[in-house]
Every structure is written in C-alpha cells, then in structure tokens.
Amino acid sequence: SQTIHQWPATLVQPVGSPLSLECTVEGTSNPNLYWYRQAAGRGLQLLFYSVGIGQISSEVPQNLSASRPQDRQFILSSKKLLLSDSGFYLCAWSRDRTDYGYTFGSGTRLTVV
C-alpha cells in the first residue's frame, strides 16, 4: 500500500533562516506531488505541484521554492524565512484522474519567530 511521509512535524525557525521540508511517498511510482499551506483556522492554499522529476509548477509567487530530485521525493525550501511563512504545511500525492483523491502527509507546523 502507498504511504506518504512528511517531516519534521513541528519546526520553530528564526526570521531570515533557511527552510527545508521533505516529503516522500512509498509504494507507488510517478505520483503527482503537491505542497499546500494552511494558515490557522483557514483553508488550504496550493503552493506547488509536480507531475514528474524536475517538473515544478508554482501557484503563488512567494518566498518559497520546491524541488523534486527523485520520483517520490518532494522538497519545500526557502533561503530566508519571513514571519508570514508561518503556517501548517501539507504534502500530498495523487494520480492525474478526477476520481482519485489526494493522500496527505501528517503535516509540518512551522513557526517563524
């Protein structure tokens, strides 16, 4: 069966520090991968998605970037964090089909101080 791992679970980082969040999927190949951000008590904002190695689409221009160095690995990065980067980050995987839902990782709660 397929599983998705996301780490770390929580992170407190100072303003201006770099960021690297990692997400890996097991038990499947060539998944579509997604990064979402969720502000406290709010909905999900799609940040990036990837349909293959090295292929990244950005939904919202911002202080973050994403990379997919391997088929089942998706990394969210920042060179210098801002206070506004605080939030709950969720990774997800899926297939390119309308009848296929998203499977989410357990999330990373990022606080920038």
Partner 1 sequence: AQKITQTQPGMFVQEKEAVTLDCTYDTSDQSYGLFWYKQPSSGEMIFLIYQGSYDEQNATEGRYSLNFQKARKSANLVISASQLGDSAMYFCAMREGRDNDMRFGAGTRLTVKP
Decide if residue 90 touches partner 1 (CB under 8 A).
yes
Span interacting with partner 1, options 20-28, 60-68, 74-82, 99-107, rule CB under 8 A = 99-107
Q: Which two tokens stand for residue 68?
A: 């997919």
CA distance linking residue 90 with residue 87, whole number of Å: 10
The verdict on whether omega for the bond into residue 14 sits within 30 degrees of 0, i.e. cis, is no
- Quick one: which of 58, 65, 73, 94 contacts partner 1 (CB under 8 A)? 94
Q: What is the largest CA-CA distance in the chain?
A: 41
Q: Residues interacting with partner 1, by CB under 8 A?
A: 32, 34, 41-44, 46, 49, 51, 57, 59, 88, 90, 92, 94, 96-104, 106-107, 109
